[in-house]
Amino acid sequence: MKPILTKGQLITWKEGRGFGFIKAHHGGKNVFLHISALPENSPHPKVGDTILYQRVITPKGKVRAAKASIAGIKPKSPKPSFPKQKKRGRIQTMIGVIMLSAMALIILEFRSSRSPGLITAITKPGCTIKGNISINTGKKIYHLPNMADYQTTVISPEQGEKWFCTEAEAMEKGWSKASK
């Protein structure tokens, strides 16, 4: 059985509060109309609009409109909405990119800190001679600041490599001068 629709004219409308009153064509008490009784995509009604509605009586005996529509006006077609999942996906992607960037910076910082610079690695001020153990031969050799491999030579004290203040000190401790 189809619900019975009643026809009436909107006599008041409070836009800011989203409600108004309908004067039924058959007479009787004015009928309360709330914006929620209209379809979601419906334009807001204006005073003088013809309203089609179902009459509902509340437990307190008041009459209100339900499942209402504005005569002659079709609801606006819904705007295409993008699923929230895609938005969430973009946010997750951005968070992932930021985290990967942060990890890359940390790794680069860690790698560069494993090879201390000349100033941070010197244990005694003024000691610039690098005592290095050759990877190929295992010989203990020292490098002077003006030698070819000096800048790329890294001293690892945990492997027995040392800094010397003078050539004499290096030779006295059994280290040989590098050939380059």
The last residue of a domain, from among 70, 92, 109: 70
- Give residues with Cβ within 8 angstroms of 48, minimum separation 6: 9, 10
Number of domains composing the chain: 2
pTM: 0.41
pLDDT score recorded for residue 119: 44
Please check whether residue 168 is in contact with residue 177, taking contact to mean a CB–CB distance below 8 angstroms: no
| Inside any domain, residue 64 | yes
Cross-strand bridge partners of residue 54: 66
The last residue of a domain, from among 30, 47, 70: 70
The boundaries of the domain holding residue 62 are 6-70
| Inside any domain, residue 38 | yes
The last residue of a domain, from among 54, 70, 86: 70
Show the tokens assigned to 157: 């004290």
| Inside any domain, residue 87 | no
pLDDT under 50 in the chain at which residues? Answer: 118-122
pLDDT score recorded for residue 86: 57
CATH number at residue 11: 2.40.50.140
Please check whether residue 68 is in contact with residue 35, taking contact to mean a CB–CB distance below 8 angstroms: no
pLDDT tens-place string over residues 12-43: 999 889 899 998 888 788 889 999 988 888 88
Please check whether residue 45 is in contact with residue 51, taking contact to mean a CB–CB distance below 8 angstroms: yes
